[in-house]
A and B are shown apart, each in its own frame.
Chain A
Amino acid sequence: MLSPARAPSTAPQAEAAFDVADTQALVVSNTAVNSDYFHMVLEADGLAAQARAGQFFNIACPATGNDLPYLRRPMSVYRAAPAKGQVEFLYKVTGAGTRGLATVRAGDSVAILGPLGNGFTLDPNWKNIVVLGRGVGLATLAPLAELAAEQGVGVTAILSARSRALVMSVERFAKSGATVEVVTDEDGSSEPAAVEKLLERLIAQGKADAFFTCGSNRLMLLMKRVGEKHGIPGEVAMEQQMACGLGMCFCCVRSFATPDGDTEQRRVCLEGPVFALREALSW
């Protein structure tokens, strides 16, 4: 299924007009991070490794045993390293597609279509931002923290999880220079009321020129409300079931608030997956 096909003679050869490629990526490693999550490193030269924080790929997952995933699975970029020609993904094993993906080994090949969608935006005037993520949403926010650090923007990363044992990427956020706050269900610190206090404290300290979130509807609504109260702009990276990833099929729509108080449907793959928090609605 994933055998690298001969490039068709009619296929465009790296013409500038093409900013999305279906790349046969070589698996460097694909290892379990904990009981639920896998970390996959791919060698994918060219366009793929140019992916920006918040963008995603549509990944062909191999068939295994009884699982015959037909459609591709969209996954946000965990890290893109153009110099190394590598792109990385952190994913939770939840169904037929990710079960199949978890079986690929170093040396295998995986087809990845991308980079797709719009990444996060960082205003050069911002000095400090807050990123707030939960679960697999942390994978999406990790490269944003690094991008901010590169641009000299201070980052506070609030990482939410069921338990301390399940928080991922703490070292990665810390290594980028971010101030890391871990909040968990087991000690109640991940409750929206507690997180709200944390956000208010950061605002009072001048540490919150912008908000970014991914991975939790409750946390998104909280950030949106607190952001609106204080006039702090923000962005949310959204997930949705997809088929094509290119805006063709209209499967991945969600409702968004328009400036005139109406709602409209937008494609998460094409108009997103990163959206302005003020336009985001509960999912």
Chain B
Amino acid sequence: MVDLRVKIGRMTLANPVMPASGTFSEGLARVFSFDHLGAVVTKTITAELRGGNPTPRVCEVGQGMLNSIGIPSKGVANFIDKIMPEYERFSAPLVVSVSAPTVELFGDIVRQLDIPGTAAIEANISCPNIEEDGKAFAMRSRSTSAVVKELRAATKLPLWVKLTPNTADVAAVALAAQDQGADALVVANTILAMSIDTETFKPRLGNILGGYSGPAIKPIALRMTYQCAKAVSIPVIGCGGIASTEDAVEFLLAGATAVQVGTATFVKPNTMLEIVDGLEAFCQRKGIAKVADLIGAVRDTDMNVDKLEALP
């Protein structure tokens, strides 16, 4: 019997597998029970009502998906009244993803959602679509510090901070979030990208720019998970292109304590279940008693690396 439990701060998850925000909703409960997951993570909620971006909102590019959904949101009251009750019947803890356009409003929405039923807050300070030209808090350490400080003051709930890959120094941003009291980091989000239709000469997304996700970005997210896990002492939750058990193992080895599965769920809705089962089978095959023993177990010591090249 393999112990699949992992600890994220003071939370103990039944297993390290959960959905990535925005790629999951209560609708997936029509396919399988969320009781099998380590946690559930909501689509990002904003206080303001948002319609989202113009269509087309999605196109496939290589082995990945480019999207510019734009965080459509029906607001906090709708979430509390209509969405939250849908999750009550499941044992998996409910992680509520939030975003806001300013530091102050970030604090406001977290205070409104600090209610029974919310197991943790995931602060989406990294969505590339929400602000002008894809700029987000998590692009810089200073703006990350400011917003996490406000969030920490606003709630005693476990506070997860979701970072962006669209930054020059993700480890520095990770440290800034840790220094201001984040309980865990989610690394990372979609990569700012674009695609042009060569027949029509038009951008393939209505919003021109979008976020790239799926298997194509996995090595980048893995690298960032590794860098962040080396830099901080709080748990890192790996996210980016995870579609199989081996992908999840890779992120755990790189230092992730848990993983989020996103775009893969669109392609194969049962992916998360397969990974939960696959992790157990993997550990059995390797003679590993606890999945937590995989965390950071990459054999990277005594390797002759060029520090300047490998860790810019």
Contact = CB atoms under 8 A, between A and B. Distances in A.
Interface stretch (A14-22, A133-141, A196-204): A14-22
Given A250-B69, A251-B67, A265-B72, A60 B267 contact: yes
A242 B57 CA distance: 9
A22 B58 CA distance: 22
Contacts of B25: 246-248
A72 B55 CA distance: 18
A270 B214 CA distance: 23
Nearest to A270: B27
B51 A8 contact: no
Nearest to B57: A251
Contacts of B22: 249
Nearest to A10: B36
B284 interface: no
A254 B58 CA distance: 13
A8 B270 contact: yes
B55 A240 contact: yes
A181 B99 CA distance: 54
B231 to A, nearest CB: 32
B153 interface: no
Nearest to B54: A253
Contacts of B59: 241
Contacts of B29: 17
Interface in B1-55: 22-25, 27-33, 36, 43, 51-52, 55
B165 to A, nearest CB: 19
A68 interface: yes
A249 B32 contact: no
A241 B88 CA distance: 32
Nearest to A245: B266
A261 interface: no
B265 A248 contact: yes
Contact of A246 (B27, B58, B277): B27
B269 A22 contact: yes
B64 A70 contact: yes
B237 to A, nearest CB: 19
A241 B56 contact: yes
A22 B31 contact: yes
A206 to B, nearest CB: 40
A21 B276 contact: no
A8 B277 contact: yes
Given A10-B36, A68-B62, A70-B64, A249 B23 contact: yes
Main secondary structure of the interface of B (DSSP, over half): loop
B55 A241 contact: yes
Contacts of B63: 68, 70
B69 A249 contact: yes
Given A12-B32, A68-B63, A251-B58, A246 B269 contact: yes
B274 interface: yes
A5 interface: yes
Contact of A243 (B51, B58, B62): B58
A15 B32 CA distance: 9
Contacts of A243: 58, 65, 67, 263, 266
B268 interface: yes
B67 A249 contact: yes
Contacts of B265: 244, 248
Interface in A230-259: 240-244, 246-254
B273 interface: yes
A60 B65 CA distance: 15
B267 A71 contact: yes
Contact of A111 (B64, B72, B268, B274): B268
A12 B62 contact: no
A248 B62 contact: no
A22 B269 CA distance: 7
Interface of B: 22-25, 27-33, 36, 43, 51-52, 55-60, 62-65, 67, 69, 72, 214, 263, 265-270, 273-274, 276-277
Given A10-B36, A60-B268, A71-B58, 14 more contacts: A8-B270, A12-B32, A22-B269, A241-B56, A241-B57, A248-B265, A249-B69, A250-B57, A250-B72, A251-B56, A251-B57, A251-B58, A253-B57, A254-B55
9 contacts: A8-B270, A9-B277, A17-B33, A18-B32, A20-B30, A69-B60, A71-B60, A246-B25, A248-B28
- A-B pairs with lowest CB-CB distance, top 7: A251-B58, A8-B277, A244-B266, A247-B27, A70-B60, A20-B30, A246-B27
